[in-house]
Amino acid sequence: MYRVVSEKRFLRLLLLRFQMGYVNFTWKSGMKKYYYNFDRLQSFNENILEPPSVSIKTTGRIPRRPKVFSIQLKCSGNRSGIASFTIGLLIESRKGKPLPGTPLRLKLRKECAERINVAVVSLMTILLFVSGICTEKCLNGGKCVQKDTCECQKGFYGLRCEFSKCIIPCLNGGRCKGVNKCICTEKCLNGGKCVQKDTCECQKGFYGLRCEFSKCIIPCLNGGRCKGVNKCRCPPGFLGDYCEIWQRPYICPKPCKQGVCSAARTCACYEGWFGRTCSQRSDSGEDKSTFYHDDEEGPPVRNKPRRRKIFV
């Protein structure tokens, strides 16, 4: 249960009610390895609120399977008032690259009451609830505590508890919907799924903030560009899954008699022939230039199996 302070000096920071002593979180990393570090756990008013603490180690690896941890917000009990505190969380990959949306820096406020007054306040709340009458029903599990006044459940606020609020703000323009649930403003592409804090989980073969980029496991050949999962967009004259197939023969100024026309528009002669049109037979077998290709109709191709030497 909480409310938002309206004064400018509070910058509309979230204010947690004194009844809230801790907040639970569930997280997991899946198959990827991520490491966390709570680098800031500080109270700016320690006479009212003790520094925040976590139920796990402040540094470590995020578990692969869902696990729950809590952040404790313990009032000192010495005096009543509102204390401000900050929580900092950094999440990095095993290569040291920060996860999008981190480091997370939360600055919040907590309402505390003296220990001697807590029982009195609780009793007053019960009495008000018994005698409370609200002309309009309190929503989202809220309770009517006095005339036309609703006490909202954690994660909701408003006169009738009709608005929801995320304890961890949604990032990158995301909108809060329900308790700690974010709606991403930009749709994840190529079958990606929107996960918490406006982050897309991409399908295999795609990457990027919105899964807008694709990556081919086998590189595209002959100047082709990767388009989709292991799909290549080939330049004119080539086709195949990886642009490895030559589409049509080149045309030389003069026909090649004992050879084929290469990409340079010159004749690539078969073994034992030379000349501009491959019309002269080589007796010595010595040549100045050597080309390789797979068949009699294709252009010179490098780094391919079953090559056969031909000479110019």
pLDDT of residue 124: 43
pLDDT at residue number 107: 84
* Amino acid type, 236: P
Q: What is the pLDDT of residue 41?
A: 93
∠ Cα 120 126 131 (to 5°): 125
Structure tokens at 255: 């026909």
User: How far is Cα 258 from Cα 262, in angstroms, rounded to an integer?
Assistant: 13
Q: What is the pLDDT of residue 54?
A: 92
Task: Give the right CATH number for 215-246 from 3.40.50.720, 2.40.50.140, 2.40.128.20, 2.10.25.10.
Answer: 2.10.25.10
Question: What CA–CA distance (Å, rounded) separates 38 from 103?
Answer: 10
State how far Cα 144 lies from the chain centre.
Answer: 41
């197939």: which residue's tokens?
A: 245
Q: How many angstroms separate the CA atoms of 227 and 238, rounded? A: 15
Q: Taking Cα atoms as reference points, which of 109, 112, 89 lies closest to residue 99?
A: 89
pLDDT tens string 133-190:
677 788 888 888 877 788 888 777 778 887 776 656 666 566 676 666 676 666 788 7
| pLDDT at residue 133, rounded to an integer | 65
What is the reported pTM? 0.35
Residues in contact with 158: Cβ distance below 8 Å, sequence separation at least 6, in sequence order: 150, 152
Distance, in Å, from the CA atom of 12 to the CA atom of 14, rounded to the nearest integer, reads: 6
Q: Which CATH architecture has domain 15-112?
A: Sandwich (2.60)
pLDDT tens over the chain, length 312 residues = 333 333 344 344 567 776 778 888 888 888 888 999 999 999 998 888 899 999 999 999 999 888 888 888 888 877 788 888 999 999 998 888 888 878 888 888 888 876 644 444 444 444 434 444 677 788 888 888 877 788 888 777 778 887 776 656 666 566 676 666 676 666 788 788 887 666 788 877 677 778 877 777 677 788 888 776 677 888 766 778 888 777 666 678 888 888 877 777 788 788 888 888 889 988 754 444 434 343 444 444 433 333 344 443
- HEC sequence for 20-81: CCEEEEEECCCCCCEEEEEEEEEECCCCCECCCEECCCCEEECCCCCEEEEEECCECCCCCE
Backbone angles phi, psi at 124, to 5 degrees: -65, -40
